Amino acid sequence: MSARKLKVATCSLAGCFGCHMSFLDMDERIVALIDHIEFDRSPLTDIKQVSDCDIGLIEGGLCNEENVHVLEAFRKHCKILVAVGACAINGGVPALRNHYTVQECLEESYLNGLGVVDPQIPADPALPALLPKVIPIHSLVSVDYFLPGCPPPADAFV
Ligand code: SF4
């Protein structure tokens, strides 16, 4: 009888999807991995809601309330959680906004920035509220492993 395959899921929060692109840079080595793992929610499937998994890889930090809900749900479903890349580990590029208030960021982006047309700050209640600061995922949930880099190279994922 063959061994049970490990179930692996990935998720993206406040990141650029570059870590996922590096994950996909494993290229044909992913085919060899399929003997040992199966993918749940990931760039290789069209699964929208994660189910119980052995390993969860998470890219990006927390910049808004939706990120918080997604991370909490993801953590509950993953036996082992891996923070992937600088944004998940320390906030990364999005955390550059931490030098400013949320209001200052919104005004620069939507009112005063170069090339802004019809200046107005988005106020649709469906938009997730921004957190006061961008924070790493270990600020909210326990993290089992850290895979550093911006992005981590494909070899590291393998
Ligand atoms: S760590 Fe780098 S590559 Fe990964 S999401 Fe952040 S900015 Fe993008």
Contacting residues for 86 by C-beta, under 8 A, at least 6 apart: 92, 93, 148, 149, 150
Ligand 1: distance of its center to the CA of 63 in Å?
Answer: 14
For residue 73, what are its two tokens?
A: 């749900």
Residue 91 CB–ligand 1 contact under 6 Å: no
Mean pLDDT of 91-110: 97
Note the pLDDT of residue 2.
Answer: 62
Note the pLDDT of residue 44.
Answer: 87
Residue 44 CB–ligand 1 contact under 6 Å: no
Ligand 1: distance of its center to the CA of 57 in Å?
Answer: 13
Residue 19 CB–ligand 1 contact under 6 Å: yes
pTM reported for the whole predicted model: 0.92
Q: In what order do the strands lie in the sheet with 37-39?
A: 37-39, 6-12, 53-59, 78-84, 145-147
pLDDT averaged over every residue in the chain: 95
pLDDT tens digits, 143-154: 999 999 999 999
Note the pLDDT of residue 50.
Answer: 87
pLDDT tens digits, 33-70: 999 999 999 988 999 888 999 999 999 999 999 999 99
Q: For 148, which DSSP code? A: -
Residue 92 CB–ligand 1 contact under 6 Å: yes
Distance between CA atoms of 136 and 85, rounded to whole angstroms?
A: 10
Mean pLDDT of 124-138: 97
